[in-house]
Amino acid sequence: MQLLSRKQIRFISGLTFLLCVLGSLLYAAFAVRDWLKDEQRMPVQVIEFSGDFDHVSLTRLERLIRKSQPGSFFELDVNEVFRLVEAQPWVYRASVRKQWPNTLKIYLVEQQPVAQWNEDMLLNPYGDTFEASAGELTLPRLYGPGGSEKTALEGYNAMKSLLATSSMAIAELSLSERFAWQMQLKNGVELNLGRQEFIDRLQRFIDVYPLLTKQEKPVRYVDLRYDTGFAVGWRIDDNKRS
């Protein structure tokens, strides 16, 4: 039987020691991983919201986040939370970050509705649509073909600024398939502005409306689709009609 030399014995001893160290480190790594994954040891205790918002339900949003991310602080996927938060109807923009040791910080920018769009959507100031309930909000109603949201909003803003010089305001504004404008004012008067020079035509109406109010009959509609002049429809009192 051949005996091992001292050199071989030292090599085997060193290798054995190295394997023991590596095994210990590997065991420790798995133990730490399991410890970090343990929600009971490292839970996300606080979800902190900040920003200006009136319509976002923080209780509902927090419940959705905790349901989608049930793991520990270290397992929580910030990108997934970001996508979940920005998918909410009233959220325009969001930022999400983790703060050691147990906090998730979320900053929200809420959608700002400026008009209803085709009855089933809302418009923000940039002409983007989003699905949400207007609730008790009093918003002008805008209508138009798909893809015309920004055009309709730009037209509305221009006409709103022009009407600001008078006591009149827009209740409803429609843009047809041929991009002709029709408007209903809050006082009930309907305006047909056509496709071209609609701002000039609206100004013509503003200039002449004080004269129209002096008539015995209230104005029902004004058709301004003429190079010069306009046509007026009058409201007929049902009592007098009978």
Tens digit of each residue's pLDDT (9 = 90 or more) over 216-231: 899 999 999 998 889 9
Confidence band for 137, pLDDT divided at 50, 70 and 90: confident
Mapping DSSP to helix (H, G, I), strand (E, B) and coil, where does residue 235 land?
Answer: coil
pLDDT of residue 171: 97
Domain boundaries, given as residue ranges, for the chain: 46-110, 115-241
Residue 38 has pLDDT above 50, yes or no: no
Under DSSP, the state recorded for 177 is T
Give the pLDDT of residue 39.
45
Q: What is the arrangement of strands in the sheet containing 91-99, beginning at the earlier edge strand?
A: 46-52, 103-110, 91-99
Domain 46-110 = CATH 3.10.20.310: yes
Query: Which tens digit of pLDDT belongs to each residue from 188-198?
Result: 999 999 999 99
Q: Residue 167: what pLDDT?
A: 86
pLDDT exceeds 70 at position 31? no
Average pLDDT, rounded, for the chain: 86
Q: Above 90 in pLDDT, residue 23?
A: no
CATH architecture entry for 115-241: 3-Layer(aba) Sandwich (3.40)
Helices marked H in the chain: 6-37, 58-68, 78-86, 149-163, 198-212, 238-241
pLDDT level of residue 101 (50, 70, 90 thresholds): confident
Q: What is the pLDDT of residue 14?
A: 65
**More confident call, 171 vs 43:** 171
Residue 218 half-sphere exposure, CB side, CA atoms within 13 Å? 9
Least confident among 26-30, 83-87, 113-117, 145-149: 26-30
